Every structure is written in C-alpha cells, then in structure tokens.
A = this chain, B = another copy of it.
C-alpha cells in the first residue's frame, strides 16, 4: 500500500540503464503522472536520460538544442530546491516559443523539477509533467512532492552506481604539479604569477599546462582549466 516503499524496492533491484527506463515508466503509472523525466549530465558532458516523452519530442529537443533555451533546464541549474515550472521565467520570446512547441508535442501545462547534484559536478533533473488545472495540480504537488524528492535522489544514486551510467567517463588524473598549475590559473594568475607562486621557471610551468592539456584533450589553457573544473579534477 505504501507506494514510496514499493518504488524504493523496485529501484533497489535495478542493475542496468534499461531497468531505470522501465522504472520510470512504472513510476509514472503508479503515481498516475502524465510524464516523468530523469536526466543526468556529468562533468564530462556525458548524458543519460530515462523518460516517458515521445521519441519525436526527444529527438526534436536534442536536435534543436532546446536545453539552451528551456527555462526548466536553465532555471534549475542555478537552483537547489524543487521548483514549480510556473515559478520560472517564461517571459523571453524563445522561452514562449519553446513552450508552444512543447504543448503541441503533447506535454502538459503543469510541471515541477527537482535539481540533484552528485560528486564531480554531476547534475541531474527529475521532472514531473502533467496536464491539469491549477487546483488539482496544487493538490497533487502537495501530496506527492515529498515522495518524489526521495525517489529522485534514490534514482540518481542508482544511476550513478550503474556501470555505463552517468558516472562513467574517467579522465586521466592530473599530477600534483599539474593540479597546482591549473588551480592557480583558474584563480586568475597569469603564467608568470603561477611560475613565481610555484617557484619554478615559466618553461617548466608550460610543460605542466601542456601535459595537463594533453591528458584531458583540451585545445588550449582556457579549455584545460574549464575541463579540469567541470571534471572535479581541481577545486577552486
């Protein structure tokens, strides 16, 4: 009778990404939700999603790069608390256009999203989408949001555990000196300053930057620092 416990048990046995997809579909049915989305982006840019939207919409979304204008994605990345879609900023024209498109793709008018963060900059969104009026939606939210927050976090943990899931994408570790160099660069020092701080010649410093760049496949210093940062290889 306890949906939450049932769902947790269903999740506990999941061992593959396919099972997560099945889980999401089951969750949708058990809670009588129109659509559910779990979407994770790890620091390396690797993505994984388990969702109940139509393939057409998903393809269109990816194809058009809608994640760059979707107020849900943009709004949640800076947030830490679950948020109702109504509270987001839909005033910009691209946002309104996107809203119209999503509606024609069959998405409901109501929704909320739970931002979730993991180690090394992993970020995931767990979203609920529903076609409903404001009153019923408010009631639904009040009743279900606690359960869904818990499930969202459990699901994220599961997704991170699973081989090949959003948690993969190992980047070769940086040597201590390489970390020092990139960290000081990220802090705003130029090469001369970093070399001085590290008490090495600028030539030596360059070797570190370049070997770090090489390891991460970065095309220049800015890229290397950005990559190290998003991969959690350095902390500023």
Contacts and interface: CB of A to CB of B under 8 A. Distances in A.
B119 A223 contact: no
A220 interface: yes
Given A77-B232, A236-B226, A188 B43 contact: no
Contact of A225 (B150, B160, B225): B225
Given A146-B4, A232-B78, A188 B220 contact: yes
Contacts of A81: 157, 161
Contacts of A229: 226, 229-230
Given A119-B78, A236-B45, A226 B153 contact: no
Given A79-B119, A156-B80, A236 B230 contact: yes
Given A119-B79, A235-B121, A226 B156 contact: no
Nearest to A157: B81
Interface string A210-236: 000000001111110110011010011
Contacts of A190: 219-220
Give how many copies assemble into the complex: 2
B236 A80 contact: no
A222 B185 contact: yes
A117 interface: yes
B188 A219 contact: yes
Nearest to A221: B222
Contacts of A79: 119
A187 interface: yes
Interface of A: 4, 43, 45, 77-81, 117-119, 121-122, 146, 149-150, 153, 156-157, 160-161, 185-190, 218-223, 225-226, 229-230, 232, 235-236
14 contacts: A43-B235, A80-B118, A80-B157, A81-B157, A81-B161, A117-B117, A117-B118, A153-B153, A187-B223, A189-B219, A226-B229, A229-B229, A229-B230, A230-B236
State the 6 A-B residue pairs at the shortest beta-carbon distance, nearest first: A188-B223, A186-B226, A117-B117, A188-B219, A81-B157, A80-B118
